[in-house]
């Protein structure tokens, strides 16, 4: 009996030891599973408070927002930059033409004062003999006044000096100013025809700019566009100089500065008449006020090129009249410029002259000579290299610059 009791006690003890071992193994497995799923020490209780409950495993509970939520919340916000709209290019504000007239006298005075001083010195002598009058005439000829105008001016001065006997410098200066102003002829109409023609209605005024190579035609067209923009005119540029590769680019650059479009061909050597026609068509459709046509420079003795220039004008006139044909002349070319002017006038009927580089020469008499040669007025003068160094020609300011 004692032996049986010992056997039963041993079995019970083994059973108890085995149960404890199983419980320990289960607990270690549960802890490992909890750590694998992201649990933290001290947080292994479920939502119902039962030890060892794993939410989301074997039931319908939601996955806890522990580490996932923290990870998303702590990520730095992405550096998003919305693309900026390209800023509109800043446009130049051209100086009003009226302000340029002030500079006209100042700049001309720098180069032409020598002419005025020379004449005043001769006419203020105590004795004015024949030799003195010859010197006066030579001085005028050297200023490119031309033989006819120089002779006329000397003859009129002779009469006044002989009659009045003036020697006072102030009186002589006033007398010389009056006579110079008379030969420059302030009565000529120097306004630009930039108003829309009445017939056909709705069409822009068309201004052609012509001249030989190197006189500054393209630059003059660009500067003239600035003059017109300053007068609140809507302008279209036509790059009909298709022979010089850089001419269209140069003209377009001038237009971009003041917000003026340029009509051009996409290939070199295109028909200039076609480009001019398209420019006028574009100007009409856009209801522009003025279309400025830049033409290729050409020598006056090249008949084929001059005929082509005439064709450009004829093609334009199929749709609308040409309001102005401006001939650009280099003031430093002197009498050679008169020969150029005569040929161009025959081909395209020049209506006005633009004198460039007038501020760099003491030969301002070319103004008188070219007007006498063509019977058309000098309407614009170039005063320098700046973008606003083109001004309407003012006879009185011009003469005042000469006599000082």
Annotated binding-site residue? 148: no
Are the C-beta atoms of 240 and 294 separated by less than 8 Å? yes
Annotated binding-site residue? 71: no
Q: Long-range CB contacts (< 8 A, 24+ apart) of 56-61?
A: none
Annotated binding-site residue? 218: yes
> Across the strands, what pairs with 238?
263, 293
- Measured between alpha carbons, how far is 47 from 56 in angstroms, rounded to an integer? 10
Annotated binding-site residue? 214: yes
- Measured between alpha carbons, how far is 400 from 397 in angstroms, rounded to an integer? 5
Annotated binding-site residue? 359: yes
Are the C-beta atoms of 376 and 355 separated by less than 8 Å? no
- Measured between alpha carbons, how far is 116 from 342 in angstroms, rounded to an integer? 29
Annotated binding-site residue? 356: yes
Are the C-beta atoms of 205 and 290 separated by less than 8 Å? yes
Annotated binding-site residue? 295: yes
Q: Maximum CA pair distance of the chain?
A: 179
Instruction: Collapse the DSSP code of 51 into the 3-class scheme (helix H, G, I; strand E, B; otherwise coil) and give the result.
Output: strand
Instruction: Collapse the DSSP code of 235 into the 3-class scheme (helix H, G, I; strand E, B; otherwise coil) and give the result.
Output: strand
Q: How many CB atoms lie within 10 A of CB 133?
A: 17
Annotated binding-site residue? 294: yes
Peptide linkage before 323 cis (omega within 30 of 0): no
- Measured between alpha carbons, how far is 350 from 328 in angstroms, rounded to an integer? 10
CA quadruple 287, 292, 296, 302: dihedral sign: positive
Are the C-beta atoms of 249 and 279 separated by less than 8 Å? no
Annotated binding-site residue? 357: yes
CA separation (Å) from 83 to 86, 87, 384? 9, 12, 43
Q: How many CB atoms lie within 10 A of CB 200?
A: 11
Which residues contribute to the annotated binding site?
A: 211-218, 294-298, 356-359
Which residues contribute to the annotated binding site for GTP?
A: 211-218, 294-298, 356-359
């Amino acid at each position: 009996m004692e032996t049986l009791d010992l056997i039963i006690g041993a079995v019970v003890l083994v059973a108890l030891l085995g149960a404890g071992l199983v419980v320990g193994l289960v607990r270690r497995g549960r802890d490992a599973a909890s750590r694998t799923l992201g649990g933290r020490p001290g947080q292994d209780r479920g939502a119902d408070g039962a030890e060892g409950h794993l939410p989301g495993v074997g039931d319908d509970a939601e996955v806890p927002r522990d580490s996932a939520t923290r990870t998303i919340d702590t990520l730095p916000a992405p550096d998003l930059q919305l693309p900026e709209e390209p800023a509109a290019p800043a446009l130049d504000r051209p100086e009003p033409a009226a302000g340029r007239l002030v500079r006209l006298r100042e700049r001309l005075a720098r180069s032409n004062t020598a002419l005025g001083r020379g004449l005043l010195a001769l006419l203020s002598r105590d004795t004015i003999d024949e030799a003195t009058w010859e010197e006066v005439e030579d001085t005028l000829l050297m200023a490119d006044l031309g033989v006819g105008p120089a002779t006329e001016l000397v003859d009129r001065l002779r009469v006044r000096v002989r009659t009045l006997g003036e020697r006072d410098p102030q009186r002589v200066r006033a007398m010389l100013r009056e006579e110079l102003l008379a030969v420059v002829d302030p009565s000529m109409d120097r306004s630009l025809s930039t108003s829309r023609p009445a017939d056909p209605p709705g069409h822009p005024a068309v201004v052609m700019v012509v001249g030989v190579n190197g006189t500054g035609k393209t630059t003059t067209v660009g500067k003239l566009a600035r003059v017109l923009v300053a007068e609140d005119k809507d302008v279209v540029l036509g790059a009909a100089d298709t022979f010089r590769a850089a001419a269209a680019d140069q003209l377009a650059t001038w237009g971009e500065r003041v917000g003026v479009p340029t009509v051009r061909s996409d290939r070199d050597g295109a028909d200039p008449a076609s480009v001019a026609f398209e420019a006028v068509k574009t100007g009409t459709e856009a209801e522009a006020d003025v279309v400025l046509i830049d033409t290729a420079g050409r020598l006056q003795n090249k008949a084929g090129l001059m005929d082509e220039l005439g064709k450009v004008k004829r093609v334009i006139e199929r749709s609308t009249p040409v309001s102005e044909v401006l001939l650009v002349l280099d003031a430093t070319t002197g009498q050679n410029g008169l020969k150029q002017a005569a040929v161009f006038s025959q081909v395209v009927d020049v209506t006005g002259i633009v004198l460039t580089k007038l501020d760099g020469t003491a030969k301002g008499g070319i103004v008188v000579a070219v007007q006498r040669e063509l019977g058309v007025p000098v309407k614009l003068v170039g005063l320098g290299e700046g973008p606003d160094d083109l001004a309407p020609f003012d006879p009185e300011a011009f003469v005042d610059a000469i006599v000082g």
